[in-house]
């Protein structure tokens, strides 16, 4: 008997029934995002290969009149080579975006109109807290912590909200920086960040200055600075779900952290990985008015990192998020913090004082 193979025709769409706009729900300003569409022919047969030629006309609606638009040059159609196509773009501001897909010179589907709004939590219900790590509104900030990382002991969860292994034992703890490092990583004594096992030189060590401080009738502090009393920088922390890296920036995982091969046994390595001739030249890290507080990437002192606000979102031009929550081209382009020098502390208002 003869065998027949049905070959789909060219892509055809009179409406947007095969468009998926779901990814736009998780879009942020200045980050590349997309929506997608699948190819079907005029008879509804799915096309499972690429090769069609599409273009997109994208505009940002800058006023109430749809004729008042600004061209969005970042938009492009990407062929995934399986019958699915992504329309990728970078939204630069909140407002209405209009997309028209063209197949050759003909319009493909209907115009896509999408509005990027500020994500806020409604005042009309009991979920008024916006999580710093995800677009989710909750009634209790502890709900922002993933269930497998949240302390379930209600008697202590307010002070110790995180659950993780500390010294290889599952424990409720006050900070993510108290947790053991993952396999393959070593925890530094100063500032409690993790570095790769084969990069332990990234841990700052200032102990050779101890005798210098004593000789000058001063007290040695963990940041290598001699002061009149033992007081030093507070623990740096990251918002919920982020990890603290050795350059004091916050990332999704330690694998994303900045790693340096720069080392010189004759020079001092600062807490943020800068290499200088003396610890007094190191960029200072913030000291709070209370020893029990911790320091967010924004520089504010809080009682617990669950209260740290969300991190900035960096764009393609300035993709590197620095330790002070600003975006730069790379680690070396990050603006340095103030160096307060001997006997001084950097307070949360960025002023050097003998006591904060």
Examine the domain organization and report whether 202 and 328 are in the same domain: yes
Assigned domain for 91 exists: yes
Q: Which of 94, 116, 138 is the last residue of a domain?
A: 116
Assess whether 83 and 199 both reside in one domain: no
What are 30's two structure tokens?
Answer: 């200045």
Query: Is residue 110 in a domain?
Result: yes
In tens digits, the chain (356 residues) has pLDDT values of 566 566 778 999 999 999 999 888 877 777 788 999 999 999 999 999 999 999 999 988 865 555 567 788 889 999 999 999 999 998 878 888 999 999 998 999 999 999 887 777 866 578 888 888 887 889 999 999 999 999 998 888 889 999 999 999 999 999 999 999 999 999 999 999 999 999 999 999 886 677 888 888 999 898 989 999 888 899 999 999 999 999 999 999 999 999 999 888 888 999 999 999 988 999 999 999 999 999 999 899 999 999 998 888 887 778 889 998 888 898 889 887 899 988 999 999 889 999 98
> 351 vs 171, 226, 299, 338, 354, CA distance in Å?
37, 18, 12, 9, 10
What's the pLDDT score for residue 129?
86
Residue 234 inside a domain? The answer is: yes
The pLDDT score that the predictor gives to residue 293 is: 95
Token pair 């340095």 is found at 336
**Count of domains for the chain:** 2
Q: Is residue 219 part of a domain?
A: yes
CATH number, domain of 79, equals 2.60.40.10
- Measured distance CA(88)–CA(287) in Å, rounded: 43
Q: Which helix (H) or strand (E) holds 173?
A: strand 169-173
Same domain, 221 and 98: no
Can you tell me which residue has the tokens 């993790």?
A: 194
Residues 108 and 193 in one domain: no
Task: State which of 69, 100, 116 marks the end of a domain.
Answer: 116
58-63 CB contacts, 8 Å cutoff, 24+ apart: 58/87, 58/89, 58/97, 58/98, 58/99, 58/100, 59/97, 59/98, 60/92, 60/93, 60/95, 60/96, 60/97, 60/98, 61/95, 61/96, 61/97, 61/98, 62/95
DSSP-assigned letter for residue 327 = E
Among 116, 142, 168, which residue terminates a domain?
116
Please indicate, yes or no, whether residues 205 and 345 belong to a single structural domain of this protein.
Answer: yes
- Contact by Cβ (8 Å): 220, 209: yes
Residues of the domain holding 239: 181-353
Beta-strand relationship, 286-287 and 345-347: parallel
333 and 189 in one domain?
yes
């Amino acid at each position: 008997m003869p065998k027949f193979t049905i070959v789909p025709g060219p892509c055809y769409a009179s409406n947007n029934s095969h468009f998926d706009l779901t990814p736009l729900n998780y879009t942020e300003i200045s980050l590349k995002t997309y929506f997608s569409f699948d190819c079907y022919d005029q008879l509804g047969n799915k096309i499972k290969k690429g090769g069609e030629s599409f273009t997109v006309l994208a505009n940002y609606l800058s006023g109430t009149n749809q004729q008042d638009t600004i061209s969005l040059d970042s938009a492009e159609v990407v062929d995934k080579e399986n019958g699915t196509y992504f329309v990728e773009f970078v939204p630069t501001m909140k407002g209405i975006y209009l997309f028209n897909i063209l197949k050759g010179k003909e319009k493909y589907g209907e115009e896509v109109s999408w509005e990027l709004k500020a994500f806020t939590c409604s005042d009309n219900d009991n979920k008024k807290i916006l999580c710093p790590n995800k677009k989710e509104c909750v009634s209790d900030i502890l709900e922002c912590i993933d269930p497998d990382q949240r302390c379930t002991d209600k008697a202590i969860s307010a002070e110790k909200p995180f659950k993780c292994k500390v010294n290889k034992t599952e424990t409720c703890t006050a900070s993510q920086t108290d947790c053991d490092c993952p396999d393959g990583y070593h925890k530094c004594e100063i500032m409690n960040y993790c570095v790769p096992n084969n990069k332990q030189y990234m841990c700052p060590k200032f102990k050779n200055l101890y005798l210098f401080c004593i000789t000058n009738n001063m007290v040695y502090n963990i940041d290598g600075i001699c002061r009149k009393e033992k007081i030093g920088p507070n623990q740096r922390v990251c918002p919920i779900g982020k990890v603290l890296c050795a350059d004091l920036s916050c990332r999704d995982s330690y694998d994303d952290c900045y790693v340096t091969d720069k080392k010189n046994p004759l020079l001092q390595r600062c807490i943020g990985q800068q290499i200088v001739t003396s610890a007094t030249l190191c960029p200072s890290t913030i000291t709070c008015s209370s020893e029990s507080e911790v320091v967010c990437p924004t520089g504010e002192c809080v009682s617990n990192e669950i209260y740290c606000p969300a991190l900035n979102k960096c764009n393609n031009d300035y993709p590197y998020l620095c330790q002070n929550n600003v975006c730069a081209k790379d680690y070396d382009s990050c603006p340095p913090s103030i160096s307060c020098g001997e006997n001084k502390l950097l307070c949360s208002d960025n002023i050097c004082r003998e006591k904060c």
